[in-house]
Amino acid sequence: MVLPCTATKAEILAWQPDGIMLSNGPGDPRSLDDEVQTIRDLAQEKPDLPMFGICLGHQLMGRALGGETYKLKFGHRGANHPVKDLTTGKVHITTQNHGYAIERDSLPADVEVTHLNLNDNTVEGLRHRDRPLFCVQYHPEASPGPKDNAYLFDRFAEMVKGGRK
Which domain CATH number covers 65? 3.40.50.880
CB 149, CB 96: distance < 8 Å: no
Distance, in Å, from the CA atom of 53 to the CA atom of 138, rounded to the nearest integer, reads 10
**pTM greater than the 0.85 cutoff:** yes
Q: Is 55 tagged catalytic? A: yes
Closest CA relative to residue 136, chosen from 23, 2, 38: 23
**95 in a domain, yes or no?**
yes
What three-state secondary structure class fits 37?
A: helix
Domain count, the chain: 1
Task: Count the neighbouring beta carbons within 10 Å of the beta carbon of residue 150.
Answer: 13
Q: Is residue 9 part of a domain?
A: no
Residue 164 is predicted with a pLDDT of 62
* pLDDT given for residue 147 in this prediction: 76
Point out the catalytic residue in the list 124, 128, 139, 158.
139
Low-confidence stretches of the chain (pLDDT beneath 50): none
Q: What is the pLDDT of residues 124-157, one digit of tens each?
A: 999 999 999 999 999 988 776 667 788 899 999 9
The answer to whether residue 41 is domain-embedded is no
pLDDT score at 145: 64
Catalytic residue among 55, 81, 128, 135: 55
The catalytically annotated residue of 5, 68, 112, 141 is 141
In a domain, 55, yes or no: yes
Residue 135 domain boundaries: 49-163
pLDDT given for residue 144 in this prediction: 65
In a domain, 2, yes or no: no
